[in-house]
């Protein structure tokens, strides 16, 4: 092997690629910045909306508030930013008219929510049916409803406790059907679960994205720029030229995948973690986004494997194209083919079994998911390595056979890989 | 005493074209080129000049026959052939995103010019072709004339004894074309063997020491200009060319 020529050609491909805006954007900037930027925008937008909603002063009308529930007004005052208008219960026979009036004012935006108490004959003093009316299409009305529900819930619970106390019962004794839920997963485990669902998916997409432009640029792009013939006059074997190009494509894919995974972990920690804490119970104990150290070698390994496999497959397809556009139309189906099973199989209940470990690309996604969760299944890891290595060798073998054909190497073959294979596999004498 | 640097014997190229069927692009072409001479392949468009030169430069494989460059067979020792050859044609463009200096360094190194002397050689080429001001600029930013100069510099940077120029003046203005011809003559004077293809009679007349007239993939005549004149009784190359290609003598 002429390693000097391979190294020189590889470095010159990389240098040229890093001066090309499309390569920089697709292979480095998007994987590196897209997720932090997306999450930052999402984080800012959600915080902005939340802050704006929280600053609304809710205009609330309460009708027929029984004397036993006067404490509700204190609770609403504690809730803050609620302007309460208290009115008497509508006289008998006018309830429907009153409700219609409330509806009208809610829809017109003159009122954000209304509480209508209707005393019931049964039960203890203060027992009432409460109607909570709001307009679901208005943010302000939704906020007012939330505030009323919280205050009402506490009021109801306290009133029931008071009534129970009058009968000599403590709340815990009469509320026998209590549901206590607990989550056994730690914050780290929950974070790893979420990262395991999302990182592998985008990892594959970014590696395919990282390979796409270089694969087309180094084959069809060379033909379009008339540099293919220049390259083929270099004093080294053609296989060395192809090897240098292949290493360049695989490198770009691997780098895109690794950068994307790193950017995603940082984004999860810096944006998603604080956001989930804020939207949840606020104590920040929900999710913790920590990547187990032992998953890093697996992540790097899978980036290399996928970069090498997708790069090889894309180069074979693009080798038949004479223009960049032709290259795009030949390679795009493979891009979709790679991404489709990853999206479809992104099911958390899917178990990483040895048979699944034999399917290239899918196995990498499942392996990575397990690794992020801190589990390393050695048998599956071995099968994954073997199956991807076999697929890479198969692709490279096919590429060496294809590029040995002069019409393909010089770009005079009219057709794609499948037409080429059909033509070559046709029995002798069929080419008339 | 000049030595034979390029030997071509019975060189043929056939290929299958979907529109035209089996095409004999080049048929049993024979010629030799010696050191320190400019050997011209003169033919109309589609006569087989480029295909012949591409086979000699190992870009295409011959269907039949042999070609040797400094004794190295183009099929069996393509890397050795390319190492001793500089190939220039209108279809050998430069890498747009590399600078002139990077391009020359790459070609010198991959074509096995000694690593320790590459830097000096590249600077020598930059000076010789007047690229100094633009050596650090990307090729895509250069004018057509400057690109042409970089192309020739990358063809000769590894100091090959044999140079192939396939219709090098196509698309050039008169001044650039004359400049290029001057450069080719200088290379010949340095002892290089030069294969030069053209369909421009005046260019072949001015530049070539020997001329092979090629038509429909076959060599119709091969001699110095004086020899061709004597053989056809025509003075102008244009008339000589018509004589061999059409078989008729047309009035000059």
> Does residue B76 sit in the same domain as residue B133?
no
Q: Can you tell me the mean pLDDT for A23-47?
A: 79
Model pLDDT for residues B183-199, shown as the tens digit of each residue: 899 999 999 999 999 99
Residue A369 binned pLDDT confidence (cut-offs 50, 70, 90) = confident
Q: Where a domain ends, among B112, B129, B153?
A: B153
**Closest CB to B91 among A17, A229, A406:** A229
Q: Is residue B15 part of a domain?
A: yes
Q: Is residue B199 part of a domain?
A: yes
Count Cβ atoms below 10 Å from residue B29 Cβ, excluding itself.
26
Q: Work out the percent of chain A whose per-residue pLDDT is above 90.
A: 23
| Residue A250 pLDDT > 90 | yes
> Does residue B184 sit in the same domain as residue B74?
yes
Rounded distance, CA B110 to CA A244, Å? Answer: 12
Q: What pLDDT is attached to residue B217?
A: 92
CA of A305 vs chain B CAs: smallest distance (Å):
29
Residues of A in contact with B78 (CB under 8 A): 237
> Does residue B178 sit in the same domain as residue B118?
no
> Within an 8 Å CB–CB cutoff, is residue A4 touching chain B?
yes
> Does residue B101 sit in the same domain as residue B125?
yes
> Does residue B220 sit in the same domain as residue B95?
no
Residue-number span of the structural domain to which B30 is assigned: 4-84+160-246
Least confident residue range of A166-170, A299-303, B168-172: A166-170
Q: Give the chain A residue nearest B151 (alpha carbons).
A: A230
> Within an 8 Å CB–CB cutoff, is residue A430 touching chain B?
no
Q: Is residue B147 part of a domain?
A: yes
| Residue A13 pLDDT > 50 | yes
CA of A316 vs chain B CAs: smallest distance (Å):
20
> Does residue B8 sit in the same domain as residue B48?
yes
| Residue A382 pLDDT > 80 | yes
Q: Is residue B45 part of a domain?
A: yes
Residues of B in contact with A412 (CB under 8 A): 15
> Does residue B114 sit in the same domain as residue B95?
yes
| Residue A177 pLDDT > 70 | no
> Within an 8 Å CB–CB cutoff, is residue A428 touching chain B?
no
> Does residue B71 sit in the same domain as residue B191?
yes
Rounded distance, CA B9 to CA B30, Å? Answer: 4
Q: Work out the percent of chain B whose per-residue pLDDT is above 70.
A: 98
Phi, psi torsion values for A6, nearest 5 degrees: -60, -45
Pairing of strands B162-166, B193-198: parallel
Cβ of B112 within 8 Å of Cβ of A9? The answer is: no
Mean pLDDT taken over chain A: 84
> Does residue B148 sit in the same domain as residue B164?
no
CA of A204 vs chain B CAs: smallest distance (Å):
29
What is the pTM (predicted TM-score) of this model? Answer: 0.79
Q: What pLDDT is attached to residue B86?
A: 95
Q: Can you tell me the mean pLDDT for A126-136?
A: 88
Residues of B in contact with A9 (CB under 8 A): 106, 110
Model pLDDT for residues B62-90, shown as the tens digit of each residue: 999 999 999 999 999 999 999 999 999 87
| Residue A176 pLDDT > 70 | no
Q: Work out the percent of chain B whose per-residue pLDDT is above 90.
A: 68
Q: Where a domain ends, among B153, B168, B189?
A: B153
Q: In the 8-state DSSP scheme, what is residue A286? A: S
- The tally of domains found in chain B comes to 2
Model pLDDT for residues A282-291, shown as the tens digit of each residue: 444 567 777 7
**Closest CB to A19 among B87, B97, B158:** B97
Contact status, residue B38 vs residue B206, Cβ threshold 8 Å: no
Phi, psi torsion values for B212, nearest 5 degrees: -110, 125
Highest mean pLDDT among A167-181, A405-419, B12-26 belongs to: B12-26
Cβ of B79 within 8 Å of Cβ of A235? The answer is: yes
> Does residue B42 sit in the same domain as residue B147?
no
Cβ of A225 within 8 Å of Cβ of B93? The answer is: yes
The CATH number of the domain holding residue B73 is 3.40.50.300
Cβ of B58 within 8 Å of Cβ of A235? The answer is: no
More confident residue, A421 or B39: B39
Residues of B in contact with A426 (CB under 8 A): none
Q: What pLDDT is attached to residue A53?
A: 72
Q: What pLDDT is attached to residue A285?
A: 54
Q: Is A172 exposed, middle or buried (0-12, 13-18, 19+ CB in 10 A)?
A: exposed
Q: Is residue B252 part of a domain?
A: no
Residues of B in contact with A230 (CB under 8 A): 92-95, 154
| Residue A79 pLDDT > 90 | no
Q: Where a domain ends, among B153, B172, B187?
A: B153
Complex-level ipTM: 0.90
Q: Is residue B251 part of a domain?
A: no
Model pLDDT for residues A81-103, shown as the tens digit of each residue: 888 999 988 887 888 899 999 99
């Amino acid at each position: 092997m002429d390693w000097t020529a391979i190294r020189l050609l590889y470095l010159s491909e990389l240098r040229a690629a890093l001066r090309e805006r499309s390569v920089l954007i697709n292979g480095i900037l998007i994987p590196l910045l897209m997720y932090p930027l997306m999450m930052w925008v999402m984080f800012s937008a959600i915080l902005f909306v939340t802050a704006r909603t929280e600053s609304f002063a809710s205009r609330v009308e309460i009708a027929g508030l029984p004397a036993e529930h006067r404490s509700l007004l204190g609770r609403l005052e504690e809730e803050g930013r609620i302007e309460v208008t208290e009115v008497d219960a509508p006289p008998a026979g006018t309830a429907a008219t009153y409700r219609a009036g409330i509806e009208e004012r809610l829809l017109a935006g003159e009122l954000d929510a209304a509480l209508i108490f209707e005393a019931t004959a049964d039960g203890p003093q203060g027992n009432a049916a409460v109607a909570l009316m709001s307009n679901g299409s208005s943010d302000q009305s939704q906020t007012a409803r939330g505030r009323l529900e919280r205050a009402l819930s506490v009021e109801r619970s306290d009133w029931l406790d008071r009534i129970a106390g009058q009968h000599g019962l403590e709340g815990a004794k009469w509320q026998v059907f209590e549901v206590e839920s607990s989550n056994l997963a730690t914050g780290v485990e929950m974070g790893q679960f979420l990262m395991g669902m999302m990182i592998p998916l985008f990892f594959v997409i970014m590696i395919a994205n990282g390979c796409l432009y270089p694969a087309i640029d180094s084959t069809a792009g060379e033909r379009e720029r008339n540099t293919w013939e220049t390259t083929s006059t270099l004093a080294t074997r053609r296989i060395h030229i192809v090897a240098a190009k292949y290493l360049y494509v695989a490198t770009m894919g691997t780098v895109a995948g690794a950068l994307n995974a790193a950017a995603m972990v940082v984004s999860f920690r810096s944006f998603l973690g604080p956001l989930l804490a804020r939207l949840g119970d606020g104590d920040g104990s929900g999710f913790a986004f920590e990547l187990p150290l032992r998953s890093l070698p697996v992540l790097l390994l899978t980036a290399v494997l996928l970069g090498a496999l997708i790069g090889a497959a894309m180069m074979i397809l693009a080798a038949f194209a004479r223009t960049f556009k032709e290259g795009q139309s030949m390679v795009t189906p493979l891009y979709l083919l790679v991404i489709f099973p990853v999206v479809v199989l992104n099911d958390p209940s899917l178990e990483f079994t040895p048979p699944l470990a034999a399917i290239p690309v899918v196995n990498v996604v499942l392996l990575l998911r397990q690794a992020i969760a801190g589990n390393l299944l050695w048998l599956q890891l071995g099968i994954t390595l073997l199956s991807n290595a076999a697929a890479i060798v198969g692709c490279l073998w096919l590429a060496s056979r294809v590029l040995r054909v002069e019409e393909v190497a010089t770009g005079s073959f009219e057709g794609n890989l499948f037409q080429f294979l059909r033509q070559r596999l046709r029995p002798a004498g069929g080419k008339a | 005493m000049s030595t034979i640097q390029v030997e071509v014997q019975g060189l043929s190229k056939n290929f299958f074209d979907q529109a035209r069927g089996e095409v004999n692009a080049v048929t049993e072409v024979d010629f030799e080129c010696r050191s320190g001479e400019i050997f011209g392949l003169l033919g109309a468009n589609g006569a087989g000049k480029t295909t012949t030169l591409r086979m000699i430069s190992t870009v295409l494989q011959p269907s039949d026959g042999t070609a040797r460059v400094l004794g190295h067979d183009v099929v069996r020792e393509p890397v050795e052939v390319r190492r001793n050859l500089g190939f220039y044609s209108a279809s050998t463009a430069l890498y747009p995103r590399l600078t002139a200096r990077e391009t020359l360094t790459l070609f010198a190194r991959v074509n096995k010019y000694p690593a320790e002397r590459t830097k000096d050689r590249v600077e020598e080429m930059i000076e010789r072709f007047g690229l100094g001001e633009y050596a650090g600029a990307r090729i895509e930013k250069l004018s057509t004339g400057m690109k042409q100069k970089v192309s020739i510099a990358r063809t000769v940077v590894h100091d090959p004894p044999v140079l192939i120029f396939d219709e090098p003046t196509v698309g050039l203005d008169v001044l650039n074309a004359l400049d290029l011809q001057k450069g080719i003559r200088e290379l010949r004077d340095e002892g290089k063997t030069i294969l030069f293809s053209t369909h421009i009679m005046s260019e072949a007349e001015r530049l070539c020491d020997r001329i092979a007239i090629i038509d429909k993939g076959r060599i119709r005549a091969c001699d110095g200009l004086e020899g061709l004149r004597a053989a056809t009784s025509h003075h102008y190359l244009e008339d000589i060319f018509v004589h061999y290609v059409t078989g008729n003598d047309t009035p000059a």
